[in-house]
Structure 1
Amino acid sequence: MATSAPSFQVRDSQRYGRPESGWRLRLYTIIFEADTRAGRLFDVALLLVIIASVAVVIADSIASVHARWQTQFQVFEWIFTIAFTIEYIARLACVRRPLRYALSFYGIVDLLAVLPTYLAILVPEMSALIDVRILRLLRVFRIFKLAEYVDEFGLLGQALHASRRKIFVFLIFVMLIVMVMGTLLYVVEGPANGYTSIPVGIYWAITTMTTVGFGDITPQTDLGRVIASAMMLIGWGTLAVPTGIVGAEFTLRRAASSSQPTTRTCHECLSEGHSPRARFCSDCGAKLPPYQHEAAEAR
């Protein structure tokens, strides 16, 4: 486990509402905080269950494996569904703003992790409208639950959000290039060589710029091949631009996150976010308990 709790866990107490006392506080500490031994064990156990459930969904999509282990897969699926249902209800029960959590990204992912199994039973006539395999595909949303336990996912999301304007401007620039080059190929090659319209030329420009090159349509004239060569070279440079934008923001976010507080909580006033090296609460002045990560490392 990391030596400091993910920064999004600090924000969860403000976003969803941290209970003040009782069994809800104890449950909240286990589910949403990672500084305690029980919280770390819960996170590790849930990670293993998520990975196992996704592996079952993937294996169940293989026809030969499904035919042989169909009954076992159904049993495992119900075990995972019941486990995720209990976890979802526990998360809603231990926060003061359950609706806010239910409408959050992770709340929706938690719901999608269990909803398909119940839909297949409660609404059997849906099989006439929606193939059961679509419901199985929805279960793969469980993989997004992994993001809640890896701090780098949060940093990447922040980097993408901070870079959204630059990326938007870059995408507009790319669209202008593919429209101009696609129109140019339509004029140069014409319908005789497969470029029957400007949208077809734009499709070719997109596949060429992204270095995919399906080969279903290619320029036949010398001038068209020169334009295609230029598009390929532009494609190499185009791929590097968004990588640099997001990479720079990710580095800045990662450096800033190293100084962010943890979920360390004062047992007297229940305020959290104290530094691992703090000895007393910054709000009420009470003595803080030993930081769990440091205690674990010492053992």
Structure 2
Amino acid sequence: MAASSLAGWRRRVHLWIDHGAGDDAVAAWIHGSLVLLICANVLAIVLESIPQLAQRFGPVFQAFEAVSLVIFALEYAARLWAAPEHARYRALKAARARFAYAMSLPAIIDLLATVPLAFALFGLGELKVLLLLRLLRFFKLGRYSPGMASLAAALSAERKALFACFVVLMGVMLMAASVMHLVEHEAQPEKFGTIPDAMWWAIITLTTVGYGDVFPITIAGKAVAAVTAVLGLVMLALPVGIVATAFAQEIHRREFVVTWSMIASVPLFGQLDAVEIAEVMQFLRARTVKAGAVVTHEGEPLQAFYFIASGEVEIAQPDGRSTLDEGHFFGALTLDDVAITSHSPGISEAVATAPTKLLVLDQIDFRALTARSPRLAAHIRALARPGRPRP
């Protein structure tokens, strides 16, 4: 009983601090408080660098830093403890799940954010390098922003193309600096006397910064500068276009993969290809329910399939109750007056036990889908024939 209660609390902590599904008030409060704390920490670090403020409010900054370190340490410990409940590590044993989580990039950032606490305990809290570790807390915001996570994934996916852009930029910079050195070194030996001197002008011009501290004065030098400036616009537009395209594709891909994997797990749709599953996705409707909300009432006939995108749903059957979490589905549909159910002998009630996001395929859209896809309709009829086990 104690082990079951502990597992229940671990699951609840996971939903609160790591999952944050739906509109759960506790999860929203925890996430909002951590975001505010991270932003306040970054602001405090910036303000503390001002001598007047550091001298006047030094004890306040130190107290705030101590409290923040304790909170971040507790957050890291809680995430590490609840790691076995994470969908990615659920198949592993508790110790291996926690180790795998500790090796992930978000966990490493969380750990580095708490390192100053360990240094402070050993009397080394004045080390300047700790400032950089404290600033790492800013990147903790990526955990609470799906957009930042998608951007990081896009940059990782296009790292080879971006590195190629960097190599081309370095080559163009070297060429522009060499040509400018040849045409300007006699007129301005102190600024373009060597290629390394000219490289400063080249990179500033290519990036369109233009400080104005170094500029050509000869006609040939101005011509080279004009060409270099135009090339700079091209060099900046290239990586921007790559990142923008990859970012849009990553958002679409992430949504598609998550939904596709849930739909493909349904026996009705398991033999369909990606194009046909994409057609099914067009008929899904999103629905968010609070913890304790009734998804289907007892005695009410089921006329939809429900895919659990996040959260938990407890379903009641004649032989007992069971809990379904993200990636599972339940419900019933009919085709040619034949019932097709996800569970046998059937579901009498379904209640969300946590804030839950559902994707719903109702009866009307199901009929439209089967009319649009004869292959899917034939596949479902074959599964629903008398004597065949139903999904």
Label 1:55 to 1:106 Cα distance change in 2 as closer, same or farther (>3 A): same
Contact 2:21 2:357 in 1 (8 A): no
Give the count of matched residue pairs: 269
Structure 2 partner of 1:25: 11
* Secondary structure in structure 1 of the residue aligned to 2:204: helix
RMSD: 2.9
> How much does 1:121 deviate?
4.1
**Residue deviations 1:34-87 (CA, integer Å, cap 9, x gap):** 115133332122212222222222222221111111111111111111111111
The match for 2:230 among 229, 233, 241 is 233
**Residue deviations 1:222-257 (CA, integer Å, cap 9, x gap):** 101110111112212221111111111111222233
Q: TM-score, normalised by structure 2?
A: 0.62
Q: Using the alignment, how far apart are the partners of 1:249 and 1:81 within structure 2?
A: 36
Label 1:187 to 1:282 Cα distance change in 2 as closer, same or farther (>3 A): farther
1:82 equivalenced with 2:70 (yes/no):
yes
Contact 2:187 2:218 in 1 (8 A): no
Q: Using the alignment, how far apart are the partners of 1:137 and 1:72 within structure 2?
A: 20
Please state which structure has a larger fraction of its residues in strand: 2
Structure 2 partner of 1:137: 132
**Residue deviations 1:167-197 (CA, integer Å, cap 9, x gap):** 2222222222111111111111126512232
Q: Using the alignment, how far apart are the partners of 1:101 and 1:107 within structure 2?
A: 7
Query: Where in structure 2 are there 5+ consecutive unaligned residues?
Result: 1-5, 84-93, 260-308, 315-321, 333-340, 359-391
The one-letter amino acid of 2:171's match is L
Bigger RCO (CA 8 Å, 6+ sep):
1
Mapping of residues 1-299 of structure 1, within 5 Å: 21-35=7-21, 37=24, 38-95=26-83, 96=94, 97-124=97-124, 127=126, 130-131=127-128, 134-190=129-185, 193=188, 194-259=191-256, 260-261=258-259, 262-266=309-313, 268=322, 271-274=325-328, 279=331, 289-290=351-352, 292=355
Contact 1:167 1:242 in 2 (8 A): yes
**Residue deviations 1:262-291 (CA, integer Å, cap 9, x gap):** 33335536542357xx65897998765337
> Which stretch has the larger CA shift, 261-270 or 194-203?
261-270
What percentage of aligned pairs have identical amino acids? Answer: 30
> How much does 1:150 deviate?
0.6
Q: Using the alignment, how far apart are the partners of 1:293 and 1:52 within structure 2?
A: 31
Label 1:207 to 1:45 Cα distance change in 2 as closer, same or farther (>3 A): same
Q: TM-score, normalised by structure 1?
A: 0.79
The one-letter amino acid of 1:188's match is V
Q: Using the alignment, how far apart are the partners of 2:343 and 2:204 within structure 1?
A: 58
* Secondary structure in structure 1 of the residue aligned to 2:71: helix
Contact 2:110 2:140 in 1 (8 A): yes
Tell which structure's C-alpha radius of gyration is larger.
2
